[in-house]
Amino acid sequence: MRAVVLMKQVPDLRAGSVGLREDGTIDRASASTTTNPADLHALEAGLQLAEEVWAMSMGPPQAESTLREALSLGADGGVLLCDRVFAGSDTWATANVLAAGIRHLGEIDLVLCGTSALDGETGQVGPQVAERLGLPQATGCEAIEDRDDSVEVRRIVEGGFERLAVPLPAVLTVAETGFQPRYATLPGRRRAAAAEVTVWTAADIGLGSELAGLEASPTKVAHMRPVPVARTTCRVVGEGISLEELAAEIIAVVRGGGTRSDKVLQAEEQTGAMQSAAPSHGGDIWVVCEFVDGELGVPSRELLSKALDLARGTGGRVVAACLGAGIAAAARSAGEFGADEVLVADDVLLDPYRCEPFARVLTDAIRGRRPDVVLFSATTTGRDLAPRMAAALDTGLAADCTDLRVADWQRRGETYRHLLHQERPAMSGSVVATCVCPESRPQMATVRPGMFSPLPRPGRGEVTALHVELGPSDLRVEVLERSVQRGEVALADADVVVAGGAGCDSASWHLVEDLAAAIGGRVAASRGAVEAGLAPRSVQVGQTGSSVAPRLYVACGISGALQHVVGMRRAGTVVAVNRDADAPIFSFADYGIVGDVRDVLPRLAGSLEALG
């Protein structure tokens, strides 16, 4: 097997946040760099699976250090795609460059990359490269087994996993819960230092400026701003409040005494007002809906509700796009949340979900009906499907958005009317980027679940059947098994969440579970805890996990990195337990206990039990 691993050099956010220039853009030159951590997991997968492994990166000359790291770990060769033409590329343009580089490299059996990059956290490049190369894909893979002419993968989904048979050649993105990276040996480092890294320019790979770089990129960053850091008055046990008094406060909140609030969002004032005048174009907003246990999913209801508000600015209708088998009755419920029209593709070939059949049906419908906006939930399905569709439609896509609005935008003296402004966290949540897609259509975004309230507001809900025409290449990926625990799917709806972090270990994790059971809460985890194997990816809270808005959030051994806080910032009452009195989590907490979780959680549980 011959594999290529796509690797990215990113700002080392563990060494500190990046700076912003006066114009709101990121000052990358001032930040130290590192190899994207997720890509090292992809490299390890390649080294275990393939006889020949190439590492490829797009970036400036200094990105060569990332390729030398790959060589030190065992890669057979490194290719740097380096040209000023590539500067400023969004994920659409980046995928164009990487796909051209892969073609130039010759016959490849497997393309691997990390699920997402530390700086942008979009997770879009892998699926977009797959579309450009015309290959099948699987995203979020934590296990991969070679089956000669195919691979069998275990793919993470909400609440569990699915096993897929994917024919080769294929593109796979690798989750950080699988394929623990190896350490470089001294002989490996010496070999890497002496190796020659191949450098290809745009001319070498036959790529013009119309397909790469800032100007060609359909997605533009309209603005960036630092995330306002919420500073609460944290009452610390032993400094004005006792453990017993805190236990009483927790019981009051659990029993309904607390209210949901949003400390951070209240600080983030919206810039620009919603436009109410109808634009000259059609302005229809589509929501690609998902179904859970035969019912319209909560994230889809949230998006339909938000789309109804946005449609006042675009002047169009709200359209629900529903795909699956036996979903006709459930799809009609989209009308109860504001859909003027419900497009239904009801076919046995669309159940269970597979990316390529869904992408085929939806892109055909979009080309025919030309909506202005298409929205997806940022679930494992939406993150898998939307990037491939954006590449097929040659349009922009903003990932994991936390807010949407419609407003005008000016650039170089030209005014673009009634654009969708898509706000999303970047750089591990330390900045908020506002993205727009001024010229390409449709404007596309994935939106983090839990950002909007699902409000029943009946629309006309007229049902229209979508034509389904699929070929053999659309059906080449086979779903072998799907295992989901529905209790975990409802994490975003939980009123009480107890989350453990890297301050826990395998011996103390049961204390997190015990506390959650004692107060009727759901167990969640930080990224560090998931990477340590303490909890499944399905319960991760943060920028790359779920967003939650419970009445009570208990953070156990969680440092409070913005990457995590962005997922729990809408919690009402926050209790933090950390042995570091200066941990950032206390800046977001209402109550704090300084101490080791192994000592604190049993005492807290005892106080709660004593109060009944």
Strands 170-174 and 443-447: unpaired
Q: If pLDDT is split at 50, 70 and 90, which confidence band does 453 have?
A: confident
pLDDT tens digit sequence for 196-225: 999 999 999 999 999 999 999 999 988 877
- Alpha carbon 288 to its chain centroid, in Å, reads 17
Of 205-219, 307-321, 541-555, the least confident: 541-555
DSSP class of residue 373? E
Strands, E assignment, 41-114? 52-58, 77-81, 110-114
Could you tell me if 317 and 378 lie in one domain? Answer: yes
Contacts for 346 with CB less than 8 Å, ≥ 6 apart: 324, 325, 326, 327, 328, 331, 465
DSSP 438-472: SSSSSEEEEE-TTSS---------EEEEPP----G
- Residue 203 CB neighbours (<10 A): 10
Q: Number of helices and strands (H, E) in the chain?
A: 17, 33
For residue 276, pLDDT over 90 is answered with no
Q: 462 in a domain, yes or no?
A: yes
Output the pLDDT for position 303. 95
Strand partners, 420: 406
Query: Domain end: 192, 216, 240, which one?
Result: 216
Could you tell me if 172 and 273 lie in one domain? Answer: no
Strand partners, 526: none
Could you tell me if 449 and 517 lie in one domain? Answer: no
**Mean pLDDT over the full length of the chain:** 88
Could you tell me if 208 and 300 lie in one domain? Answer: no
Domain at 250, CATH number: 3.40.50.1220
Consecutive H or E run containing 530: helix 527-531
Q: 221 in a domain, yes or no?
A: no
Query: Domain end: 416, 438, 470, which one?
Result: 470
How far CA 239 is from CA of 236, 482, 576, 594, 599, in Å, comes to 5, 50, 15, 11, 18
Q: For residue 547, which of 565, 561, 520 has the smallest C-alpha distance?
A: 565
What is the three-class DSSP state of 130?
A: helix
Could you tell me if 407 and 500 lie in one domain? Answer: no
Burial of 143 (0-12, 13-18, 19+ CB in 10 A): middle
Query: Domain end: 216, 243, 278, which one?
Result: 216
- Residue 463 CB neighbours (<10 A): 16
Report pTM: 0.83
Could you tell me if 325 and 386 lie in one domain? Answer: yes
Q: How many CA atoms lie within 13 A of 339 on its CB side?
A: 28
501-535 in b/e form (b: 16+ CB < 10 A) is bbbbeeebbebbeebbebbebbbbbbbbbbbbebb
Q: What is the CA radius of gyration of the chain?
A: 24
pLDDT tens digit sequence for 491-544: 777 889 999 999 999 999 999 999 999 998 999 999 889 888 899 877 888 866
Q: If pLDDT is split at 50, 70 and 90, which confidence band does 262 have?
A: very low
For residue 265, give both structure tokens.
């969002």
Q: 46 in a domain, yes or no?
A: yes
What is the three-class DSSP state of 104?
A: helix
For residue 550, give both structure tokens.
């419970």
Could you tell me if 115 and 210 lie in one domain? Answer: yes
Output the pLDDT for position 264. 37
Could you tell me if 325 and 196 lie in one domain? Answer: no
Domain at 284, CATH number: 3.40.50.620
- Alpha carbon 551 to its chain centroid, in Å, reads 24
Name the residue range of residue 101's domain.
2-216
Geometric angle at alpha carbon 2, from 64 and 353, rounded to 5°: 100
Cα–Cα distance for residue pair 424/432, rounded to 1 Å: 6
For residue 488, pLDDT over 60 is answered with no
pLDDT tens digit sequence for 158-201: 878 899 999 999 999 998 878 999 999 999 999 999 999 999 99
Could you tell me if 280 and 256 lie in one domain? Answer: no
Q: 300 in a domain, yes or no?
A: yes
Do residues 288 and 350 lie in contact, with contact meaning Cβ atoms separated by under 8 Å? no
Total tally of structural domains belonging to the chain: 3
